[in-house]
Structure 1
Amino acid sequence: MQLEDYFEFQRPDDIRLKGTRVGIETILYEYIHRSRTPEEIAEIYTSLTLEQVYATILYYLHNKEAVSSYLTNWLEWSHKSREEQRRNPPPVVAKLIKLKAEREAMKKVEENDFLNIC
């Protein structure tokens, strides 16, 4: 089996473990940025085998420059997406944020009322 046989190269910016919806960025983020061991990663992502985790890390080590670029692009996209969601949340999220703010305001009013009674 070739190392590349472990992956589905769907697009230049989308490499997944064959037979899963897990992208290599998921494993490599845990490995590189969170310093998790392959065993820890396999425990977290139970749909993956330890062999798949090691294959992903080996693929990274064999193609470090290209995969590092892939990860940099993914991180930039992730940050932009999160910022866009923060600025323009979906209606249901906006409603939850509003409800949370109302609940916190009500809690402060109740606390103030309690302190005024004491």
Structure 2
Amino acid sequence: MLVLTPKSYIEYRNDAYLVEGTRISLDSIVYAFRQGLSPESIVQSFPLLTLEQVYGAIAFYLANRTEIDAYLAAEEAAFDSIPQPLQASDPNLYNKLIAAKVARQQVEP
């Protein structure tokens, strides 16, 4: 009988979760999955990935949902704390974009 070894689809490298052997972040797949995209649609958005890799990434996310959600929230907070060039050069446009982001977040589940 042939004994199969489990495959790994996600690796932690350079302080980020990436699809193993690529530079595509788990974040990208998770955000698409949360928006309701099917694995087949995600593959169309990331043609360097196979359907197997996308399903593997989704399975990894679902198996580690609490930890990955916390990781994503920390990444978003870190990004939001970085001063944006637009904030200094065009504060009115920056404030409109922030308001649109907040409004979108209130609509999303």
| TM-score band, normalised by shorter chain | 0.5 to 0.7
* TM-score normalized by the length of structure 1: 0.62
Residue deviations 1:28-76 (CA, integer Å, cap 9, x gap): 01111x2111110001110111111111110111111101111112222
* TM-score normalized by the length of structure 2: 0.67
Distance (Å, rounded) in 1 between the aligned partners of 2:64 and 2:50: 21
Q: RMSD of the TM alignment (CA)?
A: 2.1
1:92-103 equivalent positions in 2, closer than 5 A = none
Larger Rg over CA atoms:
1
SS of residue matched to 1:8: strand
Judged with a 3 Å threshold, the aligned counterparts in structure 2 of structure 1 residues 79 and 35 are, in CA distance, closer, same or farther, namely farther
Judged with a 3 Å threshold, the aligned counterparts in structure 2 of structure 1 residues 73 and 2 are, in CA distance, closer, same or farther, namely farther
1:23 equivalent in structure 2: 25
Alignment gaps of 5+ in structure 2? 91-109
Alignment gaps of 5+ in structure 1? 95-118
Runs of 4+ in structure 1 deviating by more than 4 angstroms, as ranges, are: none
Residue 7 (structure 1) aligned with residue 14 (structure 2): no
* 1:25/1:74 contact within 8 Å kept: no
Higher fraction of helix: 1
Cα distance, 1:86 vs structure 2: 2.1
* 2:10/2:60 contact within 8 Å kept: no
Distance (Å, rounded) in 1 between the aligned partners of 2:70 and 2:12: 15
Q: In the comparison of the two structures, how many residue pairs are matched?
A: 86
